[in-house]
Structure 1
Amino acid sequence: MTLKILVVDNHPMILKLLANFLEKEGHEVMTASDGLAALSVLEVYAPDIIFVDLVMPNIGGDKLCRIIRGIPRFADLFIVILSAIAAEDDIDCKEFGANACIAKGSIKSIQKHVLEVIRHHTDKSPATLEPVANLEDIQYRSITRELLSSKNHFEAIINNMSEAVFELTADGAIIFVNLAALDLCNLAEEKLLAVNIVTLFSAEAQERITTLLAHPERLPQLIEDNPPTLLNGKQVTLHFLELYQKDRTTIILMAKDVSDRRETEQALLANETRFRELFNNMSSGVAVYEATDLGANDFVFVDFNRAAERINKIRKEQVIGRSLLEIFPGAKEFGLLAALQRVWQTGRPEHHPISLYTDNRLTGWRENYLYKLPSGEVVAIFEDVTARKQAEQKLAVESAMNAAVARISRMIISSDSLKDISSALLKEILTLTGSKYGIIDLVDPQTNNLLAMAFSPEIRDMCTMHEENGACVHAPQGLVSWVLENKTAILSNAPLTDYRAKSLPPGPASLTRLVAVPAMFNHDFLGIISVANSPKAYEKRDLATLEHFASLFALAAQKKQAQDHIAHLAHHDPLTGLINRHIFPDRLAQAMILSQRHRKKIALLYVDLDKFKQINDAHGHLAGDAVLIEVAARLRTLLRDSDTVARMGGDEFVVILHDISSKTAVQHVATKIIASLADPILFHDLRLTITASVGISIYPDDDKQIDALLHKADKAMYLAKKSSTTSYIFYEG
């Protein structure tokens, strides 16, 4: 009959010889070198008989037997002890669940008794086996008895320790426990052995222990803080040690039940917690100090609540044990140190009124109440009244802002000059933002250059301004270029290193802070307001102030543009853009004055278009308008910048030629005008052709009166219109 047999022995020769012998007898054999390995085999293998050595690493034979007997499916497994200490140790194999015991002797004697045990089990013999078989083949060894006595003595000591002791494999499997460990876990030994130590603990402790076992280099390790909790609810401190043996390394774990102590600590902690919760949930900041010396030259923090952390923007652990002046260097100037010294010396409470505290880290308004404890410590209860003071300051700023807006608005309504409005605006802005420098610019839409309407004196050198037509013109620099390009406001407290300044023309090196905003009106970009170098960092409030005033400046600039446009319409022909007949006498009068001053002559050319009515009648007024626009453009092209051309009405134009040298020069201009206007004018797919007649009068030769000079040029033009030989005629008196 073939049997399934498991042989468990830590001696490799015994394993090999016994396995070969049993296989030759026709049996199926599995082997294991220690108790843990045997339990792994038993998870997948169900033997009929198991031979177990007693003395083995990683769970001995007696404990392995108890574990196997605790497994229901192995309740009837036939267990045989095969031990070298059977003669020296008084073994009763039935105590730990074995069915038979064979003492190790010679190989032949072992084989003989193994076959007898197998036969007894197979035949189901009712005869009783010897308590220990094969004693006749061995000699008693006193050294073994001494070792066994020492082992028993050691186990007695370990089992009488108050601390629970576990021996573990490197991966945490339990291979030894003392009586205290059994009591701690409320489990029998066979229920603990081979179990992984991690599984005895609650989920939150398992990760800590698993991590520790994975890093043996961290041993020895003592876990006392936040003691882990067992599944049975007990809290324990753990002390891990590494144990080196000849051929293996194990871990010794000593555990101490601290559940009662923890309960006492928790009760004390509950009282402390109640006080601490009240202390920490006060809305007022509380700081507790003790004097550093008998002279109370400084004070050390001994407590600090959450409100104090919030108010002072610093954590409790950053202040405890450190001096007041170290943490808050501004306390002396603030007056708190002197107040603490008085309270500490006199014991009388004191109110330290609302004052502004400031240092290189913190700025805020504080109100303190101080008193001395019986212990000698001084308590400061304080409030942060910064928000209230800021609200008051904000109200004052808004009041000043509203007054400034009212003043500027009155100037705009009164149509004060844009320069006067800009100067007033700049003054208000510098005051409200505390800025050292400022400038208000109009933007030239053609060149994107800036026209300074008002600026601080230092700005002239910073911006490299130059005079142009009586105005201070400069090119945008630094972040002002960014505002001009993006039409978006900017606030930068580090303009020279601001990321937006890359690839832009560099700004003045003396700028430390900058706010610049565009002045917009109905999406039209009219100008830029910039301020710089406030003694403190600019805030959003400063940006909002500038944006508000930029709107006023844009309104004033737009109003000025509208007024200029109305004036332009009053003095210029709306179709051609030339000056009209109303302003022409003034321009002619100015020309006459200059002529007298420089002793030069001027010529007046009266230009009338021929065949213009036919174009209007044949092709409509749009064609006629196109002709007039083109005529005006050609006249402007032919003339010098110093000359003047005006539309007198209908198809009549008048030209003022300044500083003429001779009639020949005038004749040359008249010829060019007639030739230029004779070129066809394109209107859609039409080629329109006109001619011109020109009458000329000379100042002061022909007359010195404006109306008379104009009348004589007009009279000469009519003669030219009737002439069949020439298109221009000088007035002849």
Structure 2
Amino acid sequence: MEETLRVSEASYRALFENMLSGFAYCRMLYENGQAQDFIYLHVNKAFEELTGLKDVIGKKVTEIIPEIKVLDPGLFETYGRVAMTGVPEKFEIYVISLQIWFSVSVYSPEKDDFVVIFDNITERKQAEEALRRSEERYRAVIETSPDGFWVVDTQGHLLETNEAYTHLSGYSRDELLHMAIADLEVNERPEEITAHIEKVIQEGNGLFQTLHRAKSGRIWQAEVNVSCYRYGAGSLIFGFIRDIHRRQRSDALLKVRMRLSEMALTSSLDNLLQAALDAMERFTGSQIGFFHFVEPDQENLTLQTWSTHTLNSQCKAEGKGLHYPVSQAGVWADCLRTHRPVIHNDYAALSNRHTLPAGHPLIIRELVVPILRHDQVVAIAGVGNKPEDYTDDDVDTVQHLLSLLIDMVERKRAEARIEHLAYHDALTHLPNRVLLTDRIQQAMAQAGRDQRWLAVCYLDLDAFKAINDTWGHGYGDQVLVEVAQRLKTSVRAGDTVARLGGDEFVLLLGNLANVEECEMTLDRVVTVLRVPFAIAGQPLSLTTSLGVTLYPDDASDPDTLLRHTDQAMYAAKQAGGNRYHWFDADHDRRARCYRESLHRIEEGLAAGEFRLYYQPQVNMRRGVVIGAEALIRWQHPEEGLLPPAHFMPAVEASDLAIAVGQWVMNEALRQMTAWGTQGLYLPVSINVSSRHLQHPDFVAELQAALAAYPQVPPGGLELEILETVALGDMAAIAHLIESCRQLGVRFALDDFGTGYSSLTYLKNLAVHLLKIDQSFVRDLLVDTEARAIVEGVIGLSVAFHRQVIAEGVETDAHGSLLIRLGCDLAQGYGIARPMPPEHLPAWIADWTAPSAWTRIEACAAKDASPLMDI
């Protein structure tokens, strides 16, 4: 046994003595538990050869290398750690005290002892360092090259690239190294790229032009210089890629100039501008393009057009012809003040940027260039959202295109002005008789195709001659301009308002489904012109007379239609003015149709075809549902579900309004009772027409209805009436309302603010709630006058101790502003559309108010409106 051990030990010793790697067996010395030194117990020949150290056995390392703990603390710490923990370690280290690189393995055969096996790797490290420095030099050459650089394998995959190409392509280095030539190449298909690579491998090099696609989608012209590098059995393709767009741009700009010159002869101004903007987008790699004209006062702008791409895919905001002051423009308007191009490459970081209107494209970066004539800015063109920063190169491109464009644009504008004057009234810019006649002819043809009605309405201001005689023609012209504006806002999109001369206007109302639709517009026109004017600080009240005819009932030519409406207009004047009069030989037939409509409505009521839909009313700030408004619908057997606009105007003009009103009242109470059995107790408001409210039996019918549904507390029913209901007899209406209030029923004034005696109503009518008309609420965010009216109504509600609710809340922003103004109650499509009664409980259970509403603190009413100080 001992012999075996001796032989084994001798074998191992021979192994260690003759191995080429250095070997040292050492013992660690500790002081206070910390490794302080170690003793060499055994080393082999290679140890002495590799380290140059001799006679080390039995000696401490600090005796042999006194500075080791200072020069190589890491080495000493590692040995101590292995000796103490027994966990082996392997590493490469440069021993400063010996100035040698070693590859070291160290382990502990038993506690406090450790064995070091190592090799001198200094030559390898020096070779690696030399190679690294060489690679750095070559990489520096490649990285600082203004041209892009590729290393590509034989399959076309990118193995390496440089910063210049990342800039050219818009991709990061990591993205490119996961791509192939086929992902960037525009001209060649994958199989053509493979053939091209094989050709380069065979010939050793190549020079060609092609197109590359950047990350942004921009196509750019590239000149590629490639060479093949062979190693062993493999090959790599090295390529330098140069952007030669400058050379190409000159040729392309020349083609654009020729195209714009051709378009200037045949195309409209907008088409010409859009073609130029499209070219600016292409040349700069932008996503947005726009063009503004600047008024001669340098204070106002007109947005003429957007680029084709912007209109088709990005912009849902302003359209052609939007006028606004420079003060409302974005920071891009700085170019108007400085007369110099403006670049904003980080739009979000601009402290003075404006909030973009709804639907406006998001701006990331922009370039805007002014167009000057005689030291005045006449127009502004801009591009935006290039994937990379805009540069002076882009400025040069846009300015060059604008220099080609401006003369063409000015000529086009002059032509457009001449054409406009030929077809439009010079004062109001409304269509004149020539254009009106053409539009009547087109509308007649359209009405025939669609089997719809067309109304021609002749309008004349009552006693306008006295205005001219009293205040002068300048004042009269201002009145006519204001009348034109009011008329345009009173008709629908697609209708025409024209001026024939003097105070004579014509309305062309197309695509009419029935007479009532026309009459609603005419009522609106009469009403809107009755609202007092304020011209040059002078208050003025106007009325108007209208004559109306319907085509094809009046199957005449345009001139005859106008003559008929003129005759009807004079009939309206003879009847006292402030009204409209129909020219219609078939009036009896229309009256019969009207009676038939009423009869069908009466049949529908008897057949149970009417429904009540309910629109929730909420306290926005508290986030709770406070009630619902009952809104009538007709489930017509043939036409489907009809909104009230299809039948209520006819109903309210007849005694049928009483029967319909009684049905609405009873149906609402029945539904409230049904909800009550489900545990839902919800106040409901119903609309009461003037005819129904003033019926002698109204109070008795209301009392009977409440008695029929005793489960409904009277205070849960609210009656909504319009301001105009009380126009006839204020005292009688006030008495009637008080009688209803004695039954516990509450009243609300609907569409408050649209009448003309609001303060009188509040003083004399015992209503508890004012409903702000949705027309004011809808425009609250964009119309200062609408906001002023809303603030005024809220202020009046506080001053007269009334509650106030806003109709027509369509967005969270509407609600937030209303809360801040002091109106917490609201209804509208932004909260919920009217719904069948069976859907309402689930909606209430699921509804949660926007956090933007509930975070707003209660508004101090006195601070909410300046009218509190009245």
Q: TM-score range by the shorter chain?
A: 0.3 to 0.5
Task: Select the structure of larger CA radius of gyration.
Answer: 1
Query: TM-score if structure 2 supplies the norm length?
Result: 0.31
